[in-house]
Amino acid sequence: MFRKYFVYLALFVSSLSWAVPKPGDWVGGAGIGLIFDGSLFLLTPQLEYIHDSTVRYGGLVQLGLASGTLATISGSLRYTFPTRRPKLQPFVEGALGLAIASLYRDSIGVHLMMAAGLDYDVTPDFTIGTTFRFNFAPPLDSFFVSWPIAVGRLRF
């Protein structure tokens, strides 16, 4: 098990190649960070399908943990801007789904999310990045900002 993580770390440190996503590939990712409304610890698994070099869509989960929980399960759409620096990938993302909260009061509601972020291609199949997300959950009477500070994505 440690060998696998060592290989990923070695690829992260030593690679100088440019990741070119191919249509039809899948990207799995996970991140850790913060949710600012309530100071929650954030976990964010995500699975995306690469439609073309600029468009991806898939599923996103945000799980905020503290004295209560705040979870969102959403379908997401992501647009990556073409740049002159091929290793840097600025993007915008939107999502629509379901929000479940026990932090404010036990309730379920609609979740809308808008985001912007930046990924850096470490290898052809591995990127690291960060995302700043603005989340709206109207039935929960809630607006919150989530920031996955460190996100790793692996293409397979």
pLDDT tens-digit readout, 55-68: 999 999 999 887 77
Q: 79-111: string of b/e by CB count within 10 Å (b at 16+)?
A: ebeeeeeeeebebebebebebbbebeeeeebeb
DSSP 17: -
**Residue 105 — very low, low, confident or very high, per pLDDT cuts 50/70/90?**
low
**Rounded to two decimals, what is the model's pTM?**
0.79
Domain residue limits at 113: 2-155
**What is the domain count for the chain?**
1
Question: The domain that contains 19 carries what CATH number?
Answer: 2.40.160.20
Tell me: the pLDDT tens digits for 113-135? 999 999 999 988 899 999 999 99
